[in-house]
Amino acid sequence: MNLPNKLTTSRFFITIVFVVVMLWDSLPYNTSWAALLFFIGGMTDILDGYLARKHGLQTDFGALMDPLADKILVCAGFILLVGMKMNPQTQLGDYQLPEALAVPGRELLMPAWMVIVIVARELAITGLRLLAANKQVVLPAENIGKRKTNFQFVAVVSMLIIISYPGWGEGWVNFFGFEIAGWPWSIWFTFIATWGAVGLTLVSGVHFLWVNRDLYLKDM
């Protein structure tokens, strides 16, 4: 197994550890550690593709397993974030987080409908890839799909940071809580990344299904 494929495979193990850490509520700074693990998982995605292209190490295994590893990690992240909220009542000594940290009426970081859209798209594309593999056809990731994955990684990491940084100390709270137009800049960034991820998820999914429509229309 070459190095890019090893990096791809490592993402499956990173996902397992990530899920355990996220669910381990008694672990100090568990969401902070989870953010770090998810970031590392995202970096392996960048590195495996870069190394495979640079050194001519592309394989059918990598073409199939790389997007699958991405989907499993991303879906795990979004599913575990459903129902989590920003807490404006967190205090660090005499310092209290700004009320704007809880966006009025929108304190949920990841609404369930967004997760349903993302997971449904990933399952549909995975099903199409498996159908193609059964016909001895490998469907490589497209550029728009890669951009979608980048937005998804950024969205999950930024949400985990928003949940975690109140416990990092007043300096970090002042940095991430700096307000622009009434909201902390970190929340603006997270909302843009999240909505960008959802939008690209829909667009890339429709595009992928349309471009490869011959694979499934013949069987209908």
pLDDT at 13: 95
Number of domains in the chain: 1
**pLDDT band at residue 101, thresholds of 50, 70 and 90?**
very low
Please spell the DSSP secondary structure of 128-166, one letter per residue: HHHHHHHTT---PPPHHHHHHHHHHHHHHHHHHHHHHGG
- For CA atoms 57, 60, 62, 66, the dihedral sign is positive
Higher pLDDT, 95 or 141: 141
pLDDT average, residue stretch 82-104: 50
pLDDT at 111: 77
Residue type present at position 78: F
Q: Is 104 exposed, middle or buried (0-12, 13-18, 19+ CB in 10 A)?
A: exposed
pLDDT average, residue stretch 65-77: 88
Distance CA 111, CA 119 (A): 13
Distance CA 96, CA 10 (A): 40
**pLDDT band at residue 71, thresholds of 50, 70 and 90?**
confident
pLDDT at 130: 80
Q: Is the pTM higher than 0.75? A: yes
pLDDT at 73: 92
- Decide if pLDDT at 108 tops 60: no
Q: Which of 14-18, 33-37, 123-127, 174-178 has the lowest mean pLDDT?
A: 174-178
Higher pLDDT, 73 or 143: 73
The CATH number covering residue 167 comes to 1.20.120
Which range of residues forms the domain containing residue 178? 3-217
